[in-house]
Amino acid sequence: MTIGEIADRYSICKLKSERTDLDCYEELDMLYQELSFYENIEIYIDQLYEINGLIWSLESDIRLGKEGKLGLEEVGRRAIKIRNFNGMRVQAKNKINSLYKEGFVETKSNHASAI
């Protein structure tokens, strides 16, 4: 797993531990230990945390099956926002991998988030 993927997973795990009752301490600790080998990575983790938090917020009602309450138009609007935030997420992970010279650049083909 590249450092970009580890940072992304850490930020999602941190959100999960804050927003749910799930105990993610062991996974958070393991990921944090791996991240601690990389100087100045905190700023990039914070960016991924923010992006993933926005995605989580947009997805929450959909995950809970509240499409009927939201309406299809709102679900569609959220899906487009989620797609765009996922594009930002891929860019952030690519930047991390590039800066720390790990892994490959993830590219999307035939996907609007690549624009």
Beta-carbon contacts of 56 under 8 Å, excluding residues fewer than 6 positions away, are 15, 19
- What local confidence, expressed as pLDDT, does residue 109 receive? 65
Tokens 């690519």 correspond to what residue?
Answer: 94
Token pair, residue 25, equals 């301490």
Q: Could you read off the pLDDT tens digit of each residue along the chain, which spans 115 residues?
A: 999 999 999 999 999 999 999 999 999 999 999 999 999 999 999 999 999 999 999 998 888 777 778 888 998 999 999 999 999 999 999 999 999 998 777 776 665 655 5
Instruction: Determine contact, residues 92/47, Cβ cutoff 8 Å.
Output: yes
Token pair, residue 48, equals 């991924």
Q: What is this structure's pTM?
A: 0.86
